Amino acid sequence: MNESAEEHETAGAALDVDAQAAEFLIRRADRTHWSADDEAGLEVWLSQSLAHKAAYWRLESIWERADRLNALRPLLVQGTRVTPAPRRRSLLFGIAAAIVAAVAIGANFAMLRAGATTYSTPIGGREIIRLSDGSRIELNTDTVLRTRFSGGKRNVELVKGEAFFQIKHDAAHPFVVLAANHRVTDLGTKFLVREDGGRLKVVLLEGSARLTSANARNTAGAAILTPGDVAVATARDLSIARKSMEELKSGLSWQRGVLVFHHATLLEVATEYNRYNRQKIVIADTAAGARVINATLPATDVGAFARMAQNFLGLNIEYRDDAVVIR
């Protein structure tokens, strides 16, 4: 897909507005250096267009949702302006940094979408993408990915689904993956990224990567990942667990067309299976869903799953046109 100059220009203009709004908001929060002239300048800027107002109000809402705005307001004692204490000033710049990150990540998304090439896989499908820089991306089932390489930048957006990245490292041109309002920056890595309804999972197998959140509420929204780290990020939280390389490789079994389960409940297995198949597995009761199994099964063979549940677990199976019901 060729880049549209008009789309590119429109995206750039929107980013300039966001940057101006962020500058006004950050300066205004620290009233030590905010004057009546500054306030008048803000009013003039806001009155110039609805786009200015929308950008300012949107970034202001990010700030306020951080639940710290009141603590960062200037102290007024008998009409005398008081400079915020060092801790308050630290919080101020912490939230300011979060807003700048939000604008920056938003900029990445906007610029990428302005001229991206889109790849997608159907349910049960897989595809390998070989990029011009020597990097390799493998898409899992029901995945949509956008790529945009221009001006020395290497950006991709995982719109939904799961992808495994093997990146040719170039310190001068970082490889950035955008997903679920987060940014993963390659520092020479092999890593897995999975987006699932706003929940982001990043698995680091080799090298290192920087994970950053664009949400100001997510106070733990940045981390450097090393091999064995499994990061799970949402709009509010970021948690990191350690797993063995054997466990991590089991999570990549879909590359061989199979799914590997260790001490997984039947409900967990069915949920994972349903990502790969249009004919869904329905667990009809809690007792069946709580059964624990260890198994390696073909990813797109619902019948194999049903036979395992019937022959090894003694469960009842009912076949329907669009589902297999297990009880």
Q: How many helices (H) and strands (E) does the chain have?
A: 9, 20
Confidence class of residue 14 from pLDDT cuts 50, 70 and 90? low
Q: Are 227 and 190 in contact (CB under 8 A)?
A: no
Q: Under DSSP, is residue 118 helix (H, G, I), strand (E, B) or coil?
A: strand
Say whether both 51 and 31 belong to one domain. yes
pLDDT surpasses 70 at 1: no
**Residue 39 forms part of a structural domain:** yes
For CA atoms 259, 234, 7, 97, give the dihedral sign: negative
pLDDT surpasses 60 at 129: yes
Nearest Cα residue to 95 out of 144, 29, 24, 51: 29
* Percentage of the chain lying above the pLDDT 70 cut: 72
CB half-sphere exposure, 287, CA atoms < 13 A: 5
- Rounded mean pLDDT, 41-70: 69
- Rounded mean pLDDT, 133-143: 95
Per-residue pLDDT at 7 = 45
Higher pLDDT, 226 or 132: 226
Task: Please write the tens of the pLDDT for every residue from 83-99.
Answer: 444 544 444 445 555 55
- Rounded mean pLDDT, 237-251: 92
Query: Which of 195, 221, 247 is the last residue before a domain boundary?
Result: 247
Structure tokens at 22: 């962020």
Nearest Cα residue to 191 out of 153, 144, 155, 231: 231
DSSP alpha helix (H) spans, 84-178: 86-113
Residue 19: domain span: 5-113
CATH number at residue 309: 3.55.50.30
Triad 286, 288, 289: Cα angle to 5° = 60
Say whether both 83 and 137 belong to one domain. no
Higher pLDDT, 310 or 1: 310
Q: Are 271 and 116 in contact (CB under 8 A)?
A: no
**Residue 70 forms part of a structural domain:** yes
88: which residues sit within 8 A by CB, 6+ positions away?
71, 72
Confidence class of residue 16 from pLDDT cuts 50, 70 and 90? low
Say whether both 145 and 106 belong to one domain. no
Per-residue pLDDT at 150 = 77
**Residue 232 forms part of a structural domain:** yes
Confidence class of residue 39 from pLDDT cuts 50, 70 and 90? confident
Query: Which of 51, 80, 113 is the last residue before a domain boundary?
Result: 113
Per-residue pLDDT at 321 = 86
pLDDT surpasses 80 at 144: yes
Per-residue pLDDT at 325 = 96
Nearest Cα residue to 135 out of 161, 180, 170: 170
User: Using CA atoms, how far apart are residues 33 and 30, in angstroms rounded to an integer?
Assistant: 7
Say whether both 202 and 127 belong to one domain. yes
Say whether both 148 and 231 belong to one domain. yes
Say whether both 84 and 162 belong to one domain. no
**Residue 252 forms part of a structural domain:** no
SS3 content of the chain, % helix, strand, coil (to 5): 35, 35, 30
pLDDT surpasses 80 at 71: no
Say whether both 126 and 234 belong to one domain. yes
Say whether both 128 and 224 belong to one domain. yes
Amino acid at 116: A
Say whether both 71 and 154 belong to one domain. no
Map tokens 């966001």 to a residue: 18
Out of 65-69, 102-106, 194-198, 288-292, the most confident range is: 288-292
Q: Are 204 and 249 in contact (CB under 8 A)?
A: no
As for how many domains the chain has, the answer is: 3
The overall average pLDDT reported for the chain is 79
- Rounded mean pLDDT, 289-293: 94
Q: Both ends of the chain: CA-CA distance in Å?
A: 48
Higher pLDDT, 70 or 35: 35
